[in-house]
Structure formats: structure tokens, C-alpha cells
A and B are shown apart, each in its own frame.
Chain A
Amino acid sequence: MAGISDEELMVMFQNGNGHAFELLFEKYRIPVFNFIHRMLGRDTTSAEDLLQEIFIKIVRAKDLYEPRGRFSTWLFAITRNHCLNFLRSRRYLEAKSSVPLDDRDAKEPAVGASGNEVREMLEKAIDGLSDKCREVFLLHAVEGFTHKEVSEILGENAATVRTNYRRARAELRERLGDVLDDREVRDE
């Protein structure tokens, strides 16, 4: 089905073509899963559950999609709302502090860290952002949505999105501190 847009595939699914939605699921399951995973502070089990819940909900409520909007922003808007509901209802952020820290949390930033270590430190720094900053950073910097698309997903004006993004970026810079000063960051 090359050359068919996401929106056309979704309409085909609304008309009973399951294969069309399989293609959408195949295309989006990894970006959506990674967004959820990082929104939930990398809680893999809950991210799996939430991914399943979101896609099954979309499948059952497929008629609610209106082809006027972009499928990707619609999908991420639903995903983001689910993530926030999950974080709120389970008081996830509070509970997280009582979960034993694994080895990723035990490491201190090291000067001369390898590319992989720096990326892991960045992951940790993202975990520590507020929900508002984290979602904006993940959508724009990690998933590649434009500021305009991010504002559609979040239902916020573009100026607020830009402000939160700048704040997120500055906060990450502060959190990563000296690690970024070492210009010999190398990929492994």
C-alpha cells in the first residue's frame, strides 16, 4: 500500500479493512512505545500495558477519527492524554521514589564518558523533567514533530510550547553539567 497516506489508511480501517490499521500499527508502534516509555520514566511493563490499551481503544473507537486532522498528531494526542492520566491516577511519580533504583540510577556522570554513557545520562535527565517539559522535549527533539504539530498534540498555543521547550533544553543542560564540556564524547 505504498503511497497511501496515514489518513487514507485510517479511513480504510474505518471501512472495515484491518490490514490498513496493521500498517499504521507497524509504523507507529515503536515511536509511540518509546514516547510512552520515556513519559513513564522508562517503566517498561506499564509502557507495554499502556501501548496495548491505547491501540485497542483506537481500534474500538475508530469511528471517532475525523480525516480532517493528521493521523500522527491525533495518535500522539491520545497517547499523551493516556500517559498523563496514568501518571495522575497511579500517582506514578510519587510511587517511583519508593522503587529500588537500578544500576542506571547509581552511576555518577563521569568526565570523558562514552557516547552511550552520555546518552544514558540524558535519559536520566529527561526522566527528571516535569511532565510539561518532558512531553514537549520528547515530541520535538526525540520524535521530530515541529513546534506547530506539538502544539496541536498538546492543545496548547505555539508560544507556550516554545517556552516549555526552551525550559526543557536549559534544564537538561544544567542537569548534564560538565559532561557536555568534554568535547571528546565518542560513540561506541
Chain B
Amino acid sequence: MSNEEKELLIESLARELPRRSPGEETIMKVSEAIHGQAKPARRTEFGPVMDMEELAEFLRVDADTVAEYLDQIPHFELGGKLLFRRKSVEEWIEARERTIGVQSLHVEFDRPVLPAGTPAGGRRWAL
């Protein structure tokens, strides 16, 4: 057999090499990623009044986290529904930023002093 013939045989064998399939778990993980990503893009604009789901989206957290901090986040009730004024929430965020700044300073010196009115159980230090 000439070298050319041998190489043609190699090419022919290469076309017949067995094809493996990736595992089911791999296929499933990619499928989950595909559908997770295909969801509509996050909103970037919010009205002056938001409900709980909108607030969660606004804060980039899940609704459970909003529920956990309800005693701190300014809100009002109307028709049995909890509503949040965007302006009040933004002010709350600003105040929280300042508080966290103070907390960080205390953490740095290992002498945490909780601000007055801190709920029982303390605050979250690692944010």
C-alpha cells in the first residue's frame, strides 16, 4: 500500500470514529442555564410606588429578603397591599449606607457598637 493510500485509509477511518454523547447531567445543567438566561432582562426603570416584587427587583434581592427586612424598609399599606415609595426607599438606602460605614469602622477595630434601636439579634455584619 502506498503512503497516499495509507493516508486515504486513515481519513476514511477518521470519519468512522465512534461518537460519544455527553452525560445526562451535563446536558441538564446546560439546559437549565439556557432557560435561566432566556428570561426577560431585568427592569431598570421603576415607578414612584412599587409593590413587594418590584422592590425586590429594584434592590436586586429576592422577595424573601425584602420580607425579612420589612420592619426596617419604609412602607405603607393600601387595600391590604404593602407598597413602597421609591423616594423613601432610596432615602432608607442612603441612611443604611451611612450606618454600614459606621459599622465597618467598628468591625475594623473589633469593638462593634450597635446603633440605638438595633433589633434583637443584632445586625448583619457581612454584607
Contacts and interface: CB of A to CB of B under 8 A. Distances in A.
Interface stretch (B4-12, B57-65, B84-92, B100-108): B4-12
Interface stretch (B34-42, B48-56, B73-81, B113-121): B34-42
Contacts of B31: 22, 25
Given A13-B38, A122-B17, A181 B30 contact: no
Interface residues of B, number: 31
Interface in A45-63: 47-48, 51-52, 55-56, 59-60, 62
A55 B14 CA distance: 26
Contact of B11 (A123, A169, A183): A169
Interface string B8-47: 0111011111111111011101110111011110000000
Contacts of B30: 25, 29, 51-52, 55-56, 59
A33 B29 contact: no
B17 A18 contact: no
B1 A181 contact: yes
Interface residues of A, number: 40
Given A48-B26, A172-B10, A29 B21 contact: yes
A179 to B, nearest CB: 10
A180 B11 contact: no
A30 B21 contact: yes
Contacts of A30: 19-22
A76 interface: no
A34 interface: yes
Contacts of A60: 33, 37
Given A29-B27, A56-B29, A180 B38 contact: no
A34 B37 contact: no
Given A34-B20, A48-B26, A181-B1, A169 B38 contact: no
Across the A-B interface, give the 5 residue pairs with the lowest CB-CB distance, nearest first. Answer: A18-B38, A141-B14, A180-B6, A55-B30, A56-B33
12 contacts: A13-B34, A16-B40, A18-B38, A29-B21, A29-B22, A30-B22, A62-B37, A122-B14, A141-B14, A142-B15, A170-B7, A172-B10
